[in-house]
Copies of this chain bind each other. A is one copy, B any other.
Amino acid sequence: MTDISAEMLRIGDAARTAATELAYASAAHKNTALLAAADAIHARTGDILAANAQDMAFGTAKGLSPAMLDRLRLDAGRIAAMADGVRAVAAQADPVGRVLAAWDRPNGLHIQRVATPLGVIGVIYESRPNVTADAGALCLKSGNAVILRGGSESFHSATAIHAALVAGLVAAGLPRAAIQLVPTRDRAAVSDMLRMTGHIDVIVPRGGKGLVGLVQAEARVPVFAHLEGICHVYADGDADLAKARRVVVNAKTRRTGICGAAECLLIDRRFWEAHGGILITDLLAAGVEVRADGDLLSIPGTTPAAPDDFGREFLDMIIAARIVDGVDGAIAHIRAYGSNHTEAILTENDATAARFMQRLDSAILLRNASTQFADGGEFGMGAEIGIATGKLHARGPVGAEQLTSFKYLVTGDGTVRD
């Protein structure tokens, strides 16, 4: 390819044309394509594994970390799970055409607000090959064309999975350009995508802070993303001790590498006076490094927190911890150090819980539940293309419903305005 920008424009034009047709494709038509794509993924397991072996060899030679190689690795089980994920998206209700609101006006006009696709979604991701299938399926379900740009490490795997998705489109008679994969590893393609405001309606970056930060800083196209999940758990003086112990350990340790993992524990002074350091000793016993300040440092095994340990996303078996004065102290800390992603309060006091939920503006606020529930699947959305912490359009887990816009349909009877 001699001119990447020209190729990206060609891809963008094809996506726009496909989006126009997808916008009025029936639910049955889209589901036929999704089920055929799932079957094709399953039938091509051998091809996909061979492509993945190429990527694994490339990644090993490049010296990728064991964690990154694990993300990249596919096996028959993971491929079957990918196909099942596409079938699960097909089984969801169609988000397009929903009547979001309807009302009548005194002059006889009947007004409906009806869900429509957004248009063209750009997805920029790193090493997980399954994003190809998940994002492709969610965008098709919501009537959007998608331009996928996978990481260079997963190039062959993504290409093989993409071919299966296209087979599904072809089987259903839908345009092949509904799901396109950028056919080059050149990073210039990413820079182009971020500026293609005439061709792409939204960019969704899936990956680490480096990728997301770059996209947020450089994109002229709107972005659905979260830069960090600096999730807080606040144990209130009116918390139930057993529930608090259960939730704190789960929020930190169930999986430490996901954006909903707790990164900071705030303990109400009244809780501390009543129960001492039990939440901290539970965490230490679970193998967590606890970086604390103030009175909490009197607990054996804690480590003094550096100033920047508050407001830090560890994504590891490490947590920051601090004593605060009541719910207002917790709110002030979270406003200062949080990332508007997910925070939990542990309390039996309804008024305190209401204050926490009203005065904080994170995308997800939980009461007596683990921050690890910050996930589209756990919310019942079937799948998610990502989690957003911005305030425009989509917020929290982004499923097929959040990939829609709307239009107004107004019916009169020769009605004119005075």
Q: Which A residues contact B (CB, under 8 angstroms)?
A: 20, 23-24, 103, 105, 109, 111, 116, 118-119, 201-202, 222, 240, 242-244, 246-247, 250-251, 254, 335, 353, 357-359, 361-370, 372-373, 378-380, 391-393, 395-396, 405-417
Contacts and interface: CB of A to CB of B under 8 A. Distances in A.
Nearest to A97: B358
A409 B365 contact: yes
Given A243-B414, A378-B417, 6 more contacts: A109-B373, A116-B391, A251-B416, A353-B411, A372-B417, A391-B405
Nearest to A366: B410
A407 B254 contact: no
A40 to B, nearest CB: 29
A247 B373 contact: no
Given A105-B380, A111-B379, A373-B109, A368 B413 contact: yes
Secondary structure at the A interface, as helix, strand, loop or mixed, is mixed
B368 A417 contact: no
Given A24-B358, A358-B24, A368 B415 contact: yes
Contact of A392 (B201, B254, B409, B411): B201
A411 B370 contact: no
A244 B222 CA distance: 40
Contact of A116 (B109, B361, B370, B372): B361
A228 to B, nearest CB: 16
Chain copies in the assembled complex: 2
A104 to B, nearest CB: 9
Contacts of A363: 407-408
B222 A392 contact: yes
A413 B361 contact: no
17 contacts: A23-B359, A23-B361, A105-B379, A109-B378, A243-B413, A244-B414, A251-B416, A366-B410, A366-B411, A367-B410, A368-B414, A369-B410, A369-B414, A370-B415, A370-B417, A395-B405, A396-B407
A28 to B, nearest CB: 15
B395 A393 contact: no
A395 B417 contact: no
Nearest to A375: B417
Contact of A362 (B368, B373, B407): B407
A416 B254 contact: yes
A240 B395 contact: no
Contacts of A222: 222, 392
A78 to B, nearest CB: 20
B413 A357 contact: no
